[in-house]
């Protein structure tokens, strides 16, 4: 039996391996959107989380389709090759388009963090459309695709993986949009001093940071790991990019933490996380060219400038950059790009065929051109939105939160809501908050609990308690043992004998004088109110200020909606 041997030309094999690797890298960069979603969601108020997540989802969905239909064609036209959209291409051409698209969408999603908490969804989506269609393609058309800066200065503009073209551009766009929108309500006092508005979850912010750092290896190392014409991996460049990316990342976190400590006496967690990303942004333009010590320098400086630039933007420019996108992406991207001539290896400069001074001129020209174009285009678009009254939500919607006003959802609904039965009946199951067992689907009758208390003469009383959230479980158990028949629990915040404390968000202190509490309401008729008070007191007691208070008030009457019963029968 003859064995058929499949022979492949070396060039075809090399192309197949290269494009397979490009797809793997593309998927890795796409996963960075999960990081952006978590990072931004963690830095906004809980009432705006769903809005931020929706913006991230629509950034990809709207942006990638627009980049396919229009963006690539604009880039091609700006580069001088005529308007050639992606839908006129073929298989490998579409892989190239997708690889470019994940870079474009990274630039687009950066903007959402700067305008969080007050931008209308329709305005943001429209801006994303225009960024993917025109703003970003023009930037890539004059740099990666067109090489116009080399024509202008005589020296190529060096940006290996988008430190300025992607991140610097996105950070500058975000700052511009945030400036035109204006700050969030209550962000600044009448005298111009800033109020701290902390985000709702450091956990999400740090998780998003680490996801982004993981995907960044696709950004930098993935860009390098291709086959050369000789069919071998570019091992020298590949190793250098992997090393400089990792070192700059680490030094960015340390640099930001150090400066935060020098400013406030504390190592701020969010600054460390943001500094790690700033270090990555700083090295992204030059990981293939930098010396080992250059990675330390660029990463450290990119992290160190973060608290300083954020403070400048907040206190002097009075721009409310919610997720610090400018110091993380904008100024860090500019810094790393401009430091290229200082940290580039001698061998790289020899291959470039330019002096370090000539290289700096080219880098400065590239940064300036990208910044001017991005600021101008972004400003025009958001000024038009603002003039038309479509840039910002109403004060009422901003106060209520964009989750409800823009999407009709509550990311963190109050606990204790009834669960809908999953047996297809459409009925609501009996959810007990006092420790009892709910009725199970298929049971003939729901569980009926006797109160076991002494008669109260038919008098109805409301027992209301404000307690620590962490004592809710013990209170529920104590009430169940006392035979309390009903229970309502609400998340509240308040202030009493418990002293105020200091909190810190991105290196700035703020006073926490309203403490998180839960309010328990229990209506009783056939059980003595004193028994309920004793049960709550037993479960809530810690002996520390802030244990809470219990109030007992008479209830004139009660009415049960389902049966029409009144008085103690309703209770």
Instruction: Return the CATH number at 534.
Output: 3.30.70.120
Instruction: Return the CATH number at 288.
Output: 1.10.3430.10
Q: What is the pLDDT of residue 511?
A: 67
Judgement on whether residues 352 and 482 belong to the same structural domain of the protein: no
Q: Which of 407, 442, 473 is the last residue of a domain?
A: 407
Tens of pLDDT, residue by residue over 44-95, are 999 999 999 999 999 999 999 999 999 999 999 999 999 999 988 888 889 9
Judgement on whether residues 370 and 490 belong to the same structural domain of the protein: no
Write out the residue range of the structural domain in which residue 526 sits. Answer: 461-497+513-570
Q: What is the pLDDT of residue 419?
A: 38
Could you tell me if residue 554 is inside a domain?
A: yes
Helix intervals (H) in 401-553: 402-407, 472-482, 529-540
Strands (E), 272-326: none
Judgement on whether residues 402 and 475 belong to the same structural domain of the protein: no
Judgement on whether residues 56 and 164 belong to the same structural domain of the protein: yes
From 135-144, 163-172, 496-505, 509-518, the region with the lowest mean pLDDT: 496-505
Give this prediction's pTM.
0.77
Confidence of residue 258 (pLDDT cuts 50, 70, 90): very high
Nearest to 107 by CA among 344, 333, 317, 437: 333
Could you tell me if residue 421 is inside a domain?
A: no
Q: What is the pLDDT of residue 503?
A: 66
Nearest to 50 by CA among 400, 533, 406, 377: 406
Could you tell me if residue 429 is inside a domain?
A: no
Could you tell me if residue 344 is inside a domain?
A: yes
Judgement on whether residues 382 and 490 belong to the same structural domain of the protein: no
Question: Which residues, 6 or more positions from 104, have their beta carbon under 8 angstroms from its beta carbon?
Answer: 63, 64, 67, 71, 132, 136, 137, 140, 166
Whole-angstrom Cα distance, residue 272 to residue 304?
10
Judgement on whether residues 37 and 152 belong to the same structural domain of the protein: yes
- Please give the tally of structural domains in the chain: 2
Instruction: Enter the DSSP assignment of 521.
Output: E
Question: Which residues, 6 or more positions from 8, have their beta carbon under 8 angstroms from its beta carbon?
Answer: 16
* DSSP per residue, 132-161: IIIIHHHHHHHTTTT-HHHHHHSS----SS
Tens of pLDDT, residue by residue over 315-339, are 999 999 999 999 999 999 999 999 9
Residue 310 CA: distances (Å) to CA of 242, 313, 326, 350, 511? 29, 5, 8, 37, 21
Judgement on whether residues 374 and 476 belong to the same structural domain of the protein: no
Judgement on whether residues 396 and 530 belong to the same structural domain of the protein: no
Could you tell me if residue 116 is inside a domain?
A: yes
Whole-angstrom Cα distance, residue 106 to residue 57?
12
Judgement on whether residues 185 and 276 belong to the same structural domain of the protein: yes
Could you tell me if residue 196 is inside a domain?
A: yes
CA 387 to chain CA centroid, Å, is 28
Residue of higher predicted confidence among 100 and 469: 100
Q: What is the pLDDT of residue 559?
A: 84
Judgement on whether residues 195 and 290 belong to the same structural domain of the protein: yes
Tens of pLDDT, residue by residue over 197-220, are 889 999 999 999 999 999 999 999
Judgement on whether residues 279 and 142 belong to the same structural domain of the protein: yes
Judgement on whether residues 467 and 322 belong to the same structural domain of the protein: no
Could you tell me if residue 172 is inside a domain?
A: yes
Q: Which of 387, 407, 427 is the last residue of a domain?
A: 407
Q: What is the pLDDT of residue 233?
A: 57
Angle at 62 between CA 326 and CA 33, to 5 degrees: 50
Whole-angstrom Cα distance, residue 101 to residue 228?
24
Ramachandran class of 356: left when φ > 0, alpha when ψ lies in -120 to 50, beta otherwise: alpha
Whether residue 136 is predicted with pLDDT greater than 70 in this model: the reply is yes
Torsion angle of C-alpha atoms 431, 435, 436, 439, degrees rounded to 10: 30
Ramachandran class of 265: left when φ > 0, alpha when ψ lies in -120 to 50, beta otherwise: left
Contact call for residues 551 and 464 (beta carbons, < 8 A): yes
Could you tell me if residue 447 is inside a domain?
A: no
Contact call for residues 569 and 559 (beta carbons, < 8 A): no
Percent pLDDT > 70 in the chain is 85
Would you say how long the chain is, in residues?
A: 571
């Amino acid at each position: 039996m003859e064995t058929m041997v499949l022979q492949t030309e070396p060039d075809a094999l090399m192309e197949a391996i290269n494009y397979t690797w490009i797809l793997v890298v593309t998927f890795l960069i796409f996963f960075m959107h999960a990081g952006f979603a978590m990072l931004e969601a963690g830095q906004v108020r809980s009432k705006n989380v769903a809005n931020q997540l929706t913006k991230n989802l629509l950034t990809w969905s709207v942006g990638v389709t627009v980049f396919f239909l229009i963006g690539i064609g604009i880039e091609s036209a700006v580069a001088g090759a005529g308007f050639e959209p992606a839908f006129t291409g073929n298989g490998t051409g579409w892989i190239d388009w997708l690889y470019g698209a994940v870079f474009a969408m990274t630039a687009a999603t950066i903007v959402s963090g700067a305008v969080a908490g007050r931008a209308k969804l329709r305005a943001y989506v429209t801006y994303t459309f225009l960024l993917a269609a025109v703003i970003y393609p023009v930037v890539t058309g004059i740099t990666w695709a067109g090489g116009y800066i080399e024509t202008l200065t005589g020296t190529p503009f060096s940006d290996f993986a988008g430190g300025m073209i992607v991140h610097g551009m996105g950070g500058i766009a975000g700052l511009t949009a945030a400036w035109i929108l204006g700050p969030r309500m209550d962000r600044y006092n009448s005298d111009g001093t800033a109020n701290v508005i902390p985000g709702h979850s450091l956990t999400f912010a740090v998780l998003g940071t680490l996801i982004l750092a993981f995907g960044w290896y696709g950004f930098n190392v993935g860009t390098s790991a291709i086959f050369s014409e000789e069919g071998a991996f570019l091992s020298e460049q590949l190793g250098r990019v992997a090393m400089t990316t990792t070192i700059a990342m680490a030094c960015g976190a340390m640099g930001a933490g150090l400066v935060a400590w020098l400013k406030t006496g504390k190592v701020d967690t969010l600054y460390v996380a943001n500094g790690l990303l700033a270090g990555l942004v700083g090295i992204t333009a030059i990981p293939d060219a930098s010396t080992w010590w250059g990675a330390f320098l660029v990463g450290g400086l990119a992290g160190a400038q973060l608290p300083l630039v954020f403070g400048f933007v907040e206190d002097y420019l009075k721009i409310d950059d919610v997720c610090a996108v400018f110091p993380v992406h904008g100024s860090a991207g500019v810094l790393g790009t401009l430091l290229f001539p200082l940290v580039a290896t001698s061998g790289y400069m020899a291959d470039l065929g330019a002096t370090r001074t000539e290289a700096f001129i080219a880098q400065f020209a590239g940064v300036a051109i990208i910044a001017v174009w991005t600021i101008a285009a972004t400003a025009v678009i958001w000024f038009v939105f603002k003039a038309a009254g479509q840039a910002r939500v109403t004060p009422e919607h901003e106060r209520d939160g964009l989750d409800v006003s823009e999407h009709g959802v509550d990311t963190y609904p109050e606990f204790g809501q009834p669960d809908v039965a999953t047996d297809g009946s459409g009925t609501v199951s009996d959810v007990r908050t006092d420790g009892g067992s709910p009725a199970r689907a298929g049971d003939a009758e729901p569980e009926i609990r006797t109160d076991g208390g002494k008669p109260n003469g038919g008098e109805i009383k409301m027992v209301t308690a404000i307690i620590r959230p962490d004592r809710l479980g013990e209170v529920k158990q104590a009430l169940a043992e006392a035979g309390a028949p009903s229970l309502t629990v609400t998340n509240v915040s308040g202030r009493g004998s418990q002293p105020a404390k200091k909190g810190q968000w991105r290196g700035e202190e703020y006073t926490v004088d309203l403490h998180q509490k839960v309010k328990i309401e229990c209506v009783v008729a056939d059980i003595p109110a004193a028994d309920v008070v004793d049960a709550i007191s037993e479960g809530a007691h810690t002996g520390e200020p802030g244990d809470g208070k219990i109030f007992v008030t008479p209830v004139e009457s009660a009415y049960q909606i389902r049966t029409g019963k009144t008085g103690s029968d309703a209770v």
